[in-house]
Amino acid sequence: MNTFAADDAAVGALRSAFHGEVIGPDDESYEHHRRVWNGSIDRKPGLIARCADPTDVVNAVRFGRENSLLTAVRSGGHSFPGLSVCDDGLVIDLRPMDGIRVDPENRTVRAQAGVLLGELDQVTQQFGLAVPAGIVTHTGLAGLTLGGGIGWIMRKYGLTIDQLISVRMVTADGDTVTASAEENPDMFWGVRGGGGNFGIVTDFEFHLNPLGPQVMAGTVYWPVEQAVPVLRFYRDWIAGCPDELMTIVALRRAPATPAVPAELAGQRLIGIAGCYAGSVSEGQTALQALKSFGSPVLDFCAPKPYLEHQQSFDPSFRPGRWYYVRSCDVAELTDDVIDIIAEYGRRILSPITSLALWQLGGAVARVGEDETAFNGRGAGHSFNINGNSETAEGFDHEREWARDFWTALKPYHTSVYVNFLMEEGESRIEQAYGPEKYRRLKTLKRTYDPTNFFRLNQNVRPG
Ligand SMILES: Cc1cc2nc3c(=O)[nH]c(=O)nc-3n(C[C@H](O)[C@H](O)[C@H](O)COP(=O)(O)OP(=O)(O)OC[C@H]3O[C@@H](n4cnc5c(N)ncnc54)[C@H](O)[C@@H]3O)c2cc1C
């Protein structure tokens, strides 16, 4: 077994130089801060360095290097496989660094690495502006951006990385660098999809885009028994839909909440969620066909603040539950793929197990495949198959459902989104980037992190 390798004197020196908090196993808040979003991850680091500023990040990196510590980097803590915490080693936690500054004139925003998506939206929406990002507000901006970033307005404005102007980073040597189109462009290519392999980002600068604040958005549901006709309608309806419209297909059991009639609670449903990144009236026209298909049993699709829509999936992904995910992209929703979705929808057991099937295309697909490290821009749809349970009880069954669902789709797999991987081994990481980009990332890794100090991630080994 590993043990924590730094001695008391080294820890003392770190503590006295540190502006934020350095938390060890004997500290009262240790139990709280060692936890990550996924409750199935139960790791006990030797030290958690909660950084208050970029100087703390530099000191923490140097401390990790000098003491040869296994080092995890954490911002929002939402890594599906829990890669932002480790046993025995060091966690460099950026969550306290949550500053956001909007420049409304130039339509740009600077956000520190500890910012959560909901916090960014809250600030930018005060100006009627937004960065395209993810669909659950408590997700971290940093990990999401570094993997690519898919969300409700990506078909209009691209991936999160497509609006990235620059990052400030701390490298494995403890140096501070800027990466942008002008400065360190090779690094800038790598951080747009290559994850945390090249250093710790301390802050991001993004372009902002007009949005809302009111949008036409929400989910329409039908009984899962109608999944085949609903999905065939959906396939035809989205062919040729405008970039403003983004949709996600959902499978789940209806929750027992005040918004759901009691007789529906627990029923297996298929839903189609839409968000129109344009005027509400255009959105109403664009979404009318969805709302009037067949006989929906629930319809939450209506004009609302974008901020409200952004929170709509939050309760389904509360921190602390046991989560397991399998993911793959497919080119199109063939009849066979539709049949598989319908079959696994009928077999959902846990009230919190679900599928989110993302529509891609639009602005995402118009950026060249080689312009950034992100791979799979040409994919049609991305499956995020979530086998979840409240606790350890029943978790094995849910994982098996997710694995079986994913396996049934295997003949149709194309790419996979790196931020939706569990710990699945090197071949899957290579698959996520494709062989050419993977080689380029390995070369970049050799330049910026030859000892693979940053290895608790979807790791690209130095090539
Ligand atoms: C509930 C939920 C909803 C999600 N929804 C979406 C979505 O809508 N769209 C989408 O694209 N993805 C989504 N994801 C996936 C998400 O993008 C990844 O899980 C991402 O890693 C989360 O970022 P984080 O900062 O919260 O993660 P963390 O767990 O803090 O970090 C994950 C990894 O990112 C790296 N990292 C984190 N911070 C830094 C940093 N400052 N510098 C360098 N490397 C760093 C590290 O390698 C770390 O292991 C979702 C995940 C969850 C759990």
Q: What is the CATH classification number for the domain harbouring 416?
A: 3.40.462.20
Q: What is the 3-state secondary structure (H, E, C) of 177-193?
A: EEEECCCCHHHHHHHCC
Residue 65 and residue 21 share a domain: yes
Residue 233 in tokens: 């309608």
CA of 139 to the centre of ligand 1 (A): 7
pLDDT band at 2 (very low <50, low <70, confident <90, very high): low
> Which residues sit opposite 74 in a β-bridge?
93
Residue 221 and residue 191 share a domain: no
CA of 147 to the centre of ligand 1 (A): 8
User: What is the average pLDDT across 419-433?
Assistant: 97
Beta strands in 277-323 (DSSP E): 298-299, 302-305
pTM for this structure?
A: 0.98
Distances (CA, A) of 351 to 218, 251, 339, 344: 20, 11, 22, 14
Domain total of the chain: 3
For the Cβ of 22 lying below 6 angstroms from any atom of ligand 1, the answer is no
Beta strands in 145-294 (DSSP E): 164-170, 176-180, 200-207, 209-210, 214-223, 245-253, 268-276
| Neighbouring residues of 141: CB distance < 8 A, sequence distance ≥ 6 | 75, 76, 111, 113, 115, 116, 117, 120, 133, 160, 204
Largest CA distance in the chain: 70
Closest-CA residue, ligand 1 atom 16, reads 144
- Domain-ending residue, one of 210, 244, 268: 210
Q: Is the dihedral of CA 336, 342, 346, 352 positive or negative?
A: positive
For the Cβ of 80 lying below 6 angstroms from any atom of ligand 1, the answer is yes
CA of 127 to the centre of ligand 1 (A): 26
Q: Which of 86, 65, 87 is nearest to 77 (CA)?
A: 86
pLDDT > 50? residue 63: yes
End-to-end CA distance of the chain: 29
> What is residue 9's predicted lDDT score, i.e. its pLDDT?
94
For the Cβ of 140 lying below 6 angstroms from any atom of ligand 1, the answer is yes
User: What is the average pLDDT across 69-85?
Assistant: 98
Residue 342 and residue 376 share a domain: yes
Distances (CA, A) of 448 to 27, 167, 204, 290: 34, 15, 19, 49
Q: Which of 352, 373, 174 is nearest to 253 (CA)?
A: 352
Residue 112 and residue 87 share a domain: no
For the Cβ of 190 lying below 6 angstroms from any atom of ligand 1, the answer is no
How does pLDDT run across 259-286, given as a tens digit for each residue?
A: 999 999 999 999 999 999 999 999 999 9
User: What is the average pLDDT across 179-194?
Assistant: 98
| Neighbouring residues of 81: CB distance < 8 A, sequence distance ≥ 6 | 38, 41, 421, 422, 423
For the Cβ of 70 lying below 6 angstroms from any atom of ligand 1, the answer is no
**For the chain, percent of residues with pLDDT exceeding 70:** 100
The number of angstroms, rounded, from the C-alpha of 15 to the middle of its chain's C-alpha atoms is 32
Residue 251 and residue 397 share a domain: yes
Query: What domain range includes position 199?
Result: 100-210
| Lookup result for tokens 């480790």 | 86
> What is residue 4's predicted lDDT score, i.e. its pLDDT?
86
> What is residue 393's predicted lDDT score, i.e. its pLDDT?
97
Residue 110 lies inside a defined structural domain of this protein: yes
**For the chain, percent of residues with pLDDT exceeding 90:** 98
Average pLDDT, the chain: 97
Residue 259 and residue 321 share a domain: yes
CA of 158 to the centre of ligand 1 (A): 18
Residue 319 and residue 247 share a domain: yes
How does pLDDT run across 325-371, given as a tens digit for each residue?
A: 999 999 999 999 999 999 999 999 999 999 999 999 999 999 999 99
> What is residue 3's predicted lDDT score, i.e. its pLDDT?
78
Distance CA(379)–CA(360), nearest Å, equals: 7
Residue 242 and residue 196 share a domain: no
Residue 254 and residue 176 share a domain: no
Please identify, by atom number, the ligand 1 atom nearest to the C-alpha of residue 196: 44
Bond from prior residue into 213 cis (ω within 30 degrees of 0): yes
Backbone φ and ψ for 156, nearest 5 degrees, come out as -90, -45
Question: Rounded to the nearest 10 degrees, what angle do helices 435-448 and 426-433 cross at?
Answer: 110
For the Cβ of 269 lying below 6 angstroms from any atom of ligand 1, the answer is no
> What is residue 223's predicted lDDT score, i.e. its pLDDT?
98
> What is residue 149's predicted lDDT score, i.e. its pLDDT?
98
pLDDT band at 1 (very low <50, low <70, confident <90, very high): very low
Taking only Cα atoms into account, the Rg of the chain, rounded to an integer number of angstroms, comes to 22
How does pLDDT run across 199-255, given as a tens digit for each residue?
A: 999 999 999 999 999 999 999 999 999 999 999 999 999 998 999 999 999 999 999
Are 50 and 23 in contact by the 8 Å Cβ rule? The answer is yes
For the Cβ of 40 lying below 6 angstroms from any atom of ligand 1, the answer is no
Closest-CA residue, ligand 1 atom 52, reads 78
3-class DSSP state of 155:
helix
Residue 261 and residue 396 share a domain: yes
